[in-house]
Amino acid sequence: MPRYTAPTKDMQFVLHDVLNVAEQPTPGYEDLEADFTSAILEEAGKLTSEVVAPLNIIGDTEGCKLENGVVRTPTGFKEAFETVKEGGWPGLDMPEQYGGQNMPCVIGTAVGEMFSSANMAFTMYQGLTHGAASAILAHGTNAQKEMYLPKMVSCEWTGTMNLTEPHCGTDLGLMRSKAEPQDDGSYKITGQKIFISAGEHDMADNIIHLVLAKIPGGPDGIKGVSLFIVPKFIIKENGSLGDRNAVAVGKIEEKMGIHGNSTCVMNYDGATGYLLGEAHKGMRAMFTMMNEARLGVGMQGMSQAEVAYQNALDYAKDRLQGRDVTGAQNPEGPADPLIVHPDIRRSLMDQKSFVEGARAFMLWGATLIDAAHRSDDKDADGLVSLLTPVIKGFLSDQGYDMTIKAQQVYGGHGYIEEWGMSQFTRDSRIAMIYEGANGVQALDLVGRKLALDGGKHVMAFFDLVKTFVKENAGQDADFDAQFLEPLKAASKDLQAAGMYFMQNGMKNPNNALSGSYDFMHMFGHVCLGLMWAKMGKAAKVALDNNASDTAFYETKLRTGQYYMARQLPATTLHLSRIQTGADTVMALEVANF
Amino acid sequence: MPRYTAPTKDMQFVLHDVLNVAEQPTPGYEDLEADFTSAILEEAGKLTSEVVAPLNIIGDTEGCKLENGVVRTPTGFKEAFETVKEGGWPGLDMPEQYGGQNMPCVIGTAVGEMFSSANMAFTMYQGLTHGAASAILAHGTNAQKEMYLPKMVSCEWTGTMNLTEPHCGTDLGLMRSKAEPQDDGSYKITGQKIFISAGEHDMADNIIHLVLAKIPGGPDGIKGVSLFIVPKFIIKENGSLGDRNAVAVGKIEEKMGIHGNSTCVMNYDGATGYLLGEAHKGMRAMFTMMNEARLGVGMQGMSQAEVAYQNALDYAKDRLQGRDVTGAQNPEGPADPLIVHPDIRRSLMDQKSFVEGARAFMLWGATLIDAAHRSDDKDADGLVSLLTPVIKGFLSDQGYDMTIKAQQVYGGHGYIEEWGMSQFTRDSRIAMIYEGANGVQALDLVGRKLALDGGKHVMAFFDLVKTFVKENAGQDADFDAQFLEPLKAASKDLQAAGMYFMQNGMKNPNNALSGSYDFMHMFGHVCLGLMWAKMGKAAKVALDNNASDTAFYETKLRTGQYYMARQLPATTLHLSRIQTGADTVMALEVANF
């Protein structure tokens, strides 16, 4: 069975050596001393590795079963969920007012990575609830907040997001679900929603569905969409559970992965719903959930890469096969371990340098969210809004590729289900698809986010890179050559791509959109390059200050050097593709495909 | 349910416009007139799309069941296999002497692609049989050939390859299976073999296992391995089936994909076996199967990409979602089809340009095999031996990536099993692993094949490219710029990588091996670049000659332009990685990972 060990030391390094969280001005960050965050991370690490992770393969094998309208989750899920609730983990970064612990997002993100690595399907039950609670927190009336949030923050009730219908996913303007206003101010919701994660299950007393639907007579298309709260059980005045609402699970989808999560077809047959936020402004409210979900999905990608890497590394150390061409490393044994082979090293270093860079990127993004929410920092808000599609798209694409590399280390044993490596790839595959398929993320990035506020945020990103390079150049020739020069070159490629879009997208937007996917990936590489430059710098500082754990910091430097030398130069290829524009992409008549 | 349509027109184009098979001097090619090959391809296309393809999703859903030592194949497999046998398809390129039709490999390859696209798991039953029969054909005594081949060529009996044991896959020198010589010249085989495709099933009267084992007292390691024929039922003197041999299926593996093929643990418990080829020369005999199997596995990769692409294309044309940013293309409808979006086009063009290039590469490789076998052309033999790891590794890696892209076009519908897109990715995933994981292919290419015969074959490859460029340059400025210049540049990158290996691999072989995977991919790109240049040229010739189907040839030119502009430049990135050598790859102590 695969194992999971929480990377608390790596997380502490990013939080304290790289991001210096305790010294940031963001309210709440003053508490984030190393001892304090360490205590939380150790506790979460224990829970996730010992309680949550062992259920991962069980969830995959058993899946969720629908019997007489009731969904049964896999063996052990319910008990583990109780343990998670008792520990107060679902409300870690939720307001104290509703029973949460009011931790910053950066801590929620670190802990969230652990949960997601340990068991992605299991973690989605609380993840969806968190998103739904955030939407109610941001858009609900006080009465709604009082009614729903305490139970959702504790996960006594869970939540869902209901967007997709059979004929529309990305293009929600085509939605057919209807919301008929009733005399008492409520609505009757009718329609079918598909792909509803955690849509129905046996681990909570109530399920709070957030449902997009159209109020008849409203504007056409996406502008006529409103968001509704539709509880599985109607809540009475006194807060107790009343009648079963007219919402029922139609079926559970058979999926490639995340079998432990019940992905449901949900049928609303005049179900009672309550408007959340303003009428016809449903997309705005839904985006509160979506943006949070998108960051979470990027994290899912990197989290699966992390756990897959851990197991691939174990296997590469244990499995004896072939000999080191430069001389036997295990002369007493029948063969050397896989890890002596350069091509296995290449694969492991790809994985290691990705997950560590991606983790820094995630946590940095979370500090921006905290600055935006807690300090009302508009620049941080703009920057994280720009980076959201990059985090979602790049980390889920690359995270998936890394699970494939980890699986490959196992050879044939990676293809059979017994070792669990296939599950990591099958589970992580969904991250490239849901919450906006990655092509849609690329479109959001290039078609919308780049130009937002007059391009201010992307300029701010380039300034960040420039400033970092300027402040650190000329002190150490090796660091300059190994970190700063590659970062400068990659950032220059990214700027050149942006320039190409500006110059050529005007006359034909397809010139920009044909390169959007490459742009998202090159942006991701530059972000990871920046993270590695920062981590390399932090490691150097620690070594210069005679830190005791020399090997740890030297390993950071070397892993960063690998990324800079072998991964970051991908920007050049992306740029060259982008600069070919739309001509070859759009050349064929549809009939000639 | 997904559909499959055999790409007969594209195949005819490669066979006749590009490879001019009927004009080649290879014996048997004189029969390959366009009408003749068309008749075969049309017939095979009908069978594969109408009979074989509809069973693909059934095979995935039902899988193979082991009950009381008997393996039950999925519903419909047995009947379809009978139809395939009746048509004589398994013996298409086998000698007439044993009931085959003696077609060249190039025809077997084209037909093989169709079978594999239609149903990879189903086709493996005959594929393994073909490989086993080839090994007996090459290494068996006359008596063995007479005894086994007629029944195997017809697939009345099927075959298997037994290499892997629980503790050894790539490193077969560690093998523990034993073969004790008996007085009658036979051997008693004892040991456990795993991952045995088609190891046991209900579709043939007998199963002929080819099993690697060690004769006690022989040389250590890989040099002490011999190959044995171990029939499931002993064959009596008169050719009828006798006693059940002491070989039994231990279990069927639960796998990520190819569920329709029974992947078995096989237990040999003093089973009667007969030496095939010379004692202790088992690897040589097994390589006859392995080389054939490796080409077949490369084909599996491209074949899954082909069928996945066909379905992604259908979906992109049908599914209405969003609007063309340059203006509505379906103004009467609620939205435009997905195919109007540049990022969807990019994905489809990636897929289309890959599968068509890969098909040409496969078929060209098959002509080299025919030249080697039928004309005893040593140069062709050396060249295809060099290209075998590239065909296996590059086509299976890229083929897999393309199935992922095709799945992505479906959004959430690609993740649920209902649409069949998940199956294409899960099935094709194995092609990167079996018959030598792709890292082993890269090692074979760089560590062995490059230097074979003093590097003669790789020089011959570069000469082929150079000659093509020279013969075609200067006639059309567009063709030069769009096809020949990119091909020259990519080929130059490949040469520079080879040069780097020569200069740096001597002092430290890890400098070469750290770049082996990148080299395999860049070699694959140059091969597809050469194929596209040839296809582009052929299309131009056809257009210049006023061919009637203008759109077909223009589409070829445009698809080639896409590949040259967007895919081939990947060689630059691969080269830059290779030139960083082993330093960053091998920098970490194992303990510090």
ipTM of the predicted assembly exceeds 0.95: yes
Quick one: pLDDT at residue B290?
81
Residue A288 has pLDDT above 80, yes or no: no
What is the nearest CA distance from A216 to chain B, expressed in angstroms? 18
Report the residue of chain A nearest B334, measured CA to CA: A174
What pLDDT, in 10s, does the model give residues A397-448?
999 999 999 999 999 999 999 999 999 999 999 999 999 999 999 999 999 9
CB contact under 8 A, A342 and B580: no
Q: Do B317 and A590 touch (CB under 8 A)?
A: yes
Sign of the C-alpha dihedral computed for residues B474, B476, B477 and B480 taken in this order: negative
Secondary structure letter of residue B585 according to DSSP: T
How many Cβ pairs closer than 8 A exist between chain A and B? 264
Could A562 and B584 be called an inter-chain contact, meaning their C-beta atoms sit closer than 8 Å?
Answer: yes
Rounded CA gap, A530 and A472, in Å? 12
Q: Which residues of B are catalytic?
A: 435
For A10-14, A236-240, B459-463, which range has the lowest pLDDT when averaged over its residues? A236-240
Chain position carrying tokens 């590399």: A405
Chain B residues whose CB is inside 8 A of the A585 CB are 342, 345-346, 349, 562, 566
Picking from B439, B573, B582, the nearest residue to A570 by CB comes out as: B573
3-state secondary structure of B34: helix
- pLDDT value, residue B506: 87
How near does any CA of chain B get to the CA of A29, in Å? 31
Give contacts of B351 with chain A, Cβ < 8 Å: none
- A86 catalytic per annotation: no
Query: Using the beta-carbon criterion (under 8 Å), do B256 and A341 form an inter-chain contact?
Result: no
As a whole-number percent, the residues of chain A with pLDDT over 90 amount to: 96
Check pLDDT > 90 for residue A391.
yes
Residue with tokens 């082929």: B464
Enumerate the residues of chain B whose CB falls inside 8 A of the CB of residue A560.
none
For residue B448, how many other CB atoms are within 10 A of its CB?
12
A289 has pLDDT over 80: no
B566 → closest Cβ in A325, A335, A580: A580
Residues of B in contact with A326 (CB under 8 A): 508-510
Kindly state the tokens that stand for A504: 């050529």
State the smallest CA–CA distance between residue A260 and chain B in angstroms.
Answer: 14
Contact B148, B158 (CB under 8 A): no
**Mind listing the pLDDT tens digit for each residue in A296-332?**
999 999 999 999 999 999 999 999 999 999 999 999 9
- Whether residue A415 and residue B429 make contact (CB cut-off 8 A), yes or no, is yes
Between strands B65-67 and B70-72, the pairing is antiparallel
> Cβ–Cβ of B325/A256 closer than 8 Å?
no
CB count in 10 Å sphere of residue A182 = 12
Put simply, the answer to whether A256 touches B195 (Cβ < 8 Å) is: no
**By CA distance, what is A439's nearest residue in B?**
B343
Which residues of chain A are within 8 Å of residue B562 when distances are taken between CB atoms?
584-585, 587
pLDDT recorded at residue A286 = 83
> In this complex, which of B168, B561, B572 lies closest to A587 when CB atoms are compared?
B561
Please name the residue of chain A whose CA is at the shortest distance from the CA of residue B173.
A322
Q: How confident is the model at residue A69 (pLDDT cuts 50, 70, 90)?
A: confident
Measured between CB atoms, which of A313, A429, A514 is closest to B346? A514
Q: Among B565, B485, B568, which residue's Cα sits nearest to residue A585?
A: B565
Which residues in chain A are contacts of B583 at CB distance < 8 A? 565
Chain A hits for B263, CB-CB cut-off 8 Å, are: 416
Question: What would the mean pLDDT of A510-518 be, rounded to a whole number?
Answer: 98
Cα–Cα dist A95/A133, whole Å: 11
Angstrom distances, CA of residue A251 to CA of A55, A266, A278, A589:
23, 8, 31, 39
Nearest to B408 among A194, A339, A432 (CB): A432
Q: pLDDT band at A226, cuts 50/70/90?
A: very high
Asked if A584 and B321 come within 8 Å (Cβ–Cβ), the reply is no
- Contact indicator for B246, B69 with CB cutoff of 8 Å: no
CB atoms within 10 A of CB B71: 18
Say which of A165, A292, A306, A435 is annotated catalytic: A435
CB A442 within 8 A of CB A519: yes
Shortest CA distance from A580: residue in chain B: B565
- Identify all chain B residues contacting A565, using CB atoms and an 8 Å cutoff: 577, 580, 583-584
Compare CB distances from A255 to B339, B415, B442 and report the shortest one's residue: B415
Task: Report DSSP letters for A462-520, one per residue.
Answer: HHHHHHHHHHHTTS-HHHIIIIIHHHHHHHHHHHHHHHHHHHHHTT-HHHHHTTHHHHH
| Smallest Cα distance from B146 to chain A, Å | 34
* Mean of all residue pLDDT scores within chain A: 97
The DSSP bridge pattern shows strands A65-67 and A178-181 to be unpaired
From first to last of its 593 residues, chain B has per-residue pLDDT tens of 899 999 999 999 999 999 999 999 999 999 999 999 999 999 999 999 999 999 999 999 999 999 998 999 999 999 999 999 999 999 999 999 999 999 999 999 999 999 999 999 999 999 999 999 999 999 999 999 999 999 999 999 999 999 999 999 889 889 999 999 999 999 999 999 999 999 999 999 999 999 999 999 999 999 999 999 999 999 998 999 999 999 999 999 999 999 999 999 999 999 999 999 999 999 888 887 788 889 999 999 999 999 999 999 999 999 999 999 999 999 999 999 999 999 999 999 999 999 999 999 999 999 999 999 999 999 999 999 999 999 999 999 999 999 999 999 999 999 999 999 999 999 999 999 999 999 999 999 999 999 999 999 999 999 999 999 999 999 999 999 999 999 999 999 999 999 999 999 988 999 999 999 999 999 999 999 999 999 999 999 999 999 999 999 999 999 999 999 999 999 999 999 999 999 999 999 999 99
Q: Are the CB atoms for A28 and A104 separated by under 8 Å?
A: yes
pLDDT digits (tens, 9 = 90+) for A72-104: 999 999 999 999 999 999 999 999 999 999 999
Query: Inter-chain contact B584–A558, Cβ cutoff 8 Å?
Result: yes
Q: Which pTM value belongs to this model?
A: 0.98
User: Between chains, do B256 and A425 touch, taking CB under 8 Å as contact?
Assistant: yes
Check pLDDT > 80 for residue A177: yes
pLDDT of B284? 84
Contact A415 B408 (CB under 8 A): no
SS3 B254: coil
Query: Which DSSP symbol is given to B223?
Result: G
Asked if A104 contacts A94 with a C-beta cutoff of 8 angstroms, the reply is no
Of A414, A566, A591, the CB nearest to B584: A566
Across the interface, which of A349, A552, A592 has its CB nearest the CB of B555?
A592
Q: Do B343 and A572 touch (CB under 8 A)?
A: no
- Which band of pLDDT confidence, cut at 50, 70 and 90, is reported for residue A291? confident
How much is the pLDDT for B291? 81
Taking CA–CA distances from A323, the nearest residue in chain B reads: B171
Task: Return d(Cα B564, Cα B481) in angstroms, integer.
Answer: 10
Per-residue model confidence (pLDDT) at position B266: 98
C-alpha to C-alpha distance for A103 and B259, rounded to whole angstroms:
47
In angstroms, what separates the C-alpha of A509 from chain B's closest C-alpha? 7
Q: State the smallest CA–CA distance between residue A399 and chain B in angstroms.
A: 14
B-chain CB neighbours of A510 within 8 Å are 325-326, 342
